[in-house]
Amino acid sequence: TCMSLGVDTALNEICRQVDNISQNAMGCKNKVMIIETMGSRSGFLATMTALSTGSQYVLIRQRKKSEKDLYELAMETKQRLDSGNLEKFLMIRSEGASEEIPAQMVKRIFDKVMNLKYGVRITNLGYSQLGGHPSCFDRQMGIRMGVRAFEGIVNPAKMGKRDCCVIGLRGSGLRYVPVQGLENKVCFQHGIPLRMWWLDLYPLVEAMTSELTF
């Protein structure tokens, strides 16, 4: 499936909380905010959040950065804050972005460069991302999937020559996808698809959300 049921609701809830944190950063000394989202090894939530909230940077597993990269980023951030060209710096980090460089290490790098002039804070949104009322998209998607599943049970011919299927979103439509062969499309160990369509949007994310480039 292109998007699981509930992802849109989680994304809306994350964006709401990031907007609140962004407003807070405008009026206090804590100008550098590192916000950690769920998603495990998938950077979908972090990437879409950065694009939707105008965050300055996003860290995901699929586009790893080194300590040197982050140090240079911190230096550039401080220069922009000092000159007044940057009012705040929001970084969205996927929780599974890197085992070698956890969120606390990112904070230490920025703390060292900021030298107490600007506060650096980490906010792990945690399970609050799983709350909130279902979005309109998820409400209608749940109904559509339920109807589609019922149709397949009542009339198996709709599923074609398949003994067992799952229902997934492909483009704008729902499709019956045979369970046989899923191992060629999904990494079951980490629960992520092998083909991540949203990575095609990453250049757009860099262009639209990042005021800082190497």
* Per-position pLDDT tens, the chain of length 214: 678 889 999 999 999 999 999 988 877 777 899 999 998 888 999 999 999 998 899 999 999 899 999 999 999 999 999 988 888 899 999 998 889 999 999 999 999 999 888 999 999 998 888 888 999 999 999 999 999 999 988 988 888 877 788 888 887 788 888 888 888 888 777 777 778 888 888 888 888 765 544 3
The residue type of 92 is: I
Verify that 60 and 145 share a domain, yes or no: no
Q: If DSSP states are collapsed to H, E and C, what string results for the chain? A: CCCCCCHHHHHHHHHHHHHHHHHHHHCCCCCEEEEEECCCCCCHHHHHHHHHHCCCEEECHHHCCCHHHHHHHHHHHHHHHHHCCCCCEEEEEECCCCCCCCHHHHHHHHHHHHCCCCCEEEEECHHHHHCCCCCHHHHHHHHHHHHHHHHHHHCHHHHCCCCCEEEEEECCEEEEEECCCHHHCEECCCCEECCCHHHHHHHHHHHHHCCCCC
Q: Is residue 190 in some structural domain? A: no
**Residue 156 sits in which domain range?**
136-180
Please give the tally of structural domains in the chain: 2
Distance, in Å, from the CA atom of 27 to the CA atom of 178, rounded to the nearest integer, reads 53
Q: What is the pLDDT of residue 210?
A: 56
Distance, in Å, from the CA atom of 205 to the CA atom of 121, rounded to the nearest integer, reads 23
Verify that 77 and 35 share a domain, yes or no: yes
Residue 35 in tokens: 């916000």
Q: Give pLDDT tens digits for 12-51.
A: 999 999 999 998 887 777 789 999 999 888 899 999 999 9
Nearest to 199 by CA among 31, 47, 81: 47
107 phi/psi in degrees, rounded to 5: -60, -45
Residue 169 in tokens: 């979103």
Verify that 86 and 44 share a domain, yes or no: yes
Q: Give pLDDT tens digits for 46-60.
A: 999 999 998 899 999
What distance lies between CA 111 and its chain's CA centroid?
24
Verify that 105 and 150 share a domain, yes or no: no
Q: What is the pLDDT of residue 156?
A: 86
Q: Is residue 1 in some structural domain? A: no
Residue 79 in tokens: 């220069």
Distance, in Å, from the CA atom of 68 to the CA atom of 58, rounded to the nearest integer, reads 16
Burial 5-24 (b: 16+ CB within 10 A, else e): bebbbbbbbbbebbeebbee
Q: What is the pLDDT of residue 214?
A: 39
Verify that 68 and 145 share a domain, yes or no: no
